[in-house]
């Protein structure tokens, strides 16, 4: 894909990704500015709206530093270490008011895009120009880092919308732009207890979007663009929004099945409902 540096800070990114980052941050900021009380609890979370928003503001700042080439160690990638790093960062950052956090979330998203464009303008080597070695979930290229930022904002933005009783901002287009990160991180977040001894080939098709393969051989996971080699044991057709929210642990897969958002077929269709449990939400 041809990339150019643009004045709006979306240069060097795949089409639509920069715009999605900016608009998602703005949507979250709008949500917060409409909140009368940031002490409201977030459903299925130990955080309040103010704490979740503070985490987002800090995370966007972290991603901006990474995009700028600054090292920012943050846990070791395990859920336990990330949770500890989150709590430590919130303990020293005391802002919980809606307006300052809304501004910081939107501003840091813009600074992230500026950093991406600036790196390209200074002579980076191309589209996937070098690795960012120390993200909270390991080494990844810069485009995947941008997809990571969008994924993280959408997950917590969904939480904030639910807490505040407002429509969420996750849609099929934005969910599709999260796929580079999701596919890169899947082998890292494998639930080894669930995959132990399992040998199976899945084809996952996003309705209206791309397909990818997930092959398990005695528990080892390989993710590939397009269907896996050989015949799939199970093909899963799923709405992109449902895929993202299930993968992030926000939606029960059985609820999505009941709504007709997931269809499975193949020689072993019973493997379909088992798929979400093979991974731990990043």
Alpha-carbon distance 276 to 121, whole Å?
Answer: 40
pLDDT for res 128: 44
Tell me the pTM.
0.91
Which domains, ranges and CATH numbers included, belong to the chain? 17-169 (1.20.120.450), 185-278 (3.30.1050.10)
Three-state DSSP state, 253: helix
Q: How far from each other are the two terminal CA atoms of the chain, in whole angstroms?
A: 28
pLDDT for res 106: 98
Report strand pairing: 234-238 vs 262-265.
Answer: antiparallel
10-residue averages of pLDDT along the chain (282 residues): 38 87 98 96 96 98 93 84 93 97 98 88 50 83 95 98 97 96 94 93 94 93 90 96 96 93 96 94 82
Alpha-carbon distance 109 to 94, whole Å?
Answer: 20
């Amino acid at each position: 894909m041809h990339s150019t540096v643009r004045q709006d800070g979306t240069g060097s990114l795949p089409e639509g990704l920069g715009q999605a980052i900016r608009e998602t941050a703005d949507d979250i900021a709008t949500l917060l500015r409409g909140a009368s009380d940031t002490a409201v609890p977030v459903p299925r979370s130990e955080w309040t709206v103010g704490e979740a928003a503070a985490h987002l503001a800090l995370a966007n700042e972290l991603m901006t530093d990474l995009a700028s080439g600054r090292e920012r160690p943050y846990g070791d990638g395990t859920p336990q270490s990330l949770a500890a790093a989150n709590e430590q960062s919130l303990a020293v950052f005391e802002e919980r008011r809606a307006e300052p956090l809304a501004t910081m979330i939107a501003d840091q998203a813009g600074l992230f895009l500026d950093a991406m464009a600036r790196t390209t303008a200074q002579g980076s080597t191309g589209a996937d120009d070098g690795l960012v070695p120390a993200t909270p979930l390991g080494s990844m290229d810069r485009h995947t880092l941008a997809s990571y930022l969008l994924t993280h904002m959408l997950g917590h933005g969904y939480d904030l919308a639910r807490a505040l009783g407002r429509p969420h901002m996750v849609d099929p287009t934005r969910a599709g732009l999260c796929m580079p990160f999701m596919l890169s991180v899947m082998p890292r977040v494998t639930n080894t207890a669930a995959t132990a001894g399992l040998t199976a080939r899945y084809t996952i098709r996003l309705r209206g979007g791309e397909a990818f393969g997930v092959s398990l051989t005695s528990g080892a996971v390989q993710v590939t663009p397009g269907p896996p080699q050989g015949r799939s044991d199970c093909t899963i057709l799923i709405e992109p929004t449902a895929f993202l929210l299930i993968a992030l642990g926000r939606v029960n897969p059985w609820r999505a099945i009941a709504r007709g958002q997931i269809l499975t077929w193949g020689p072993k269709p019973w493997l379909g409902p088992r798929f979400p449990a093979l991974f731990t939400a990043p």
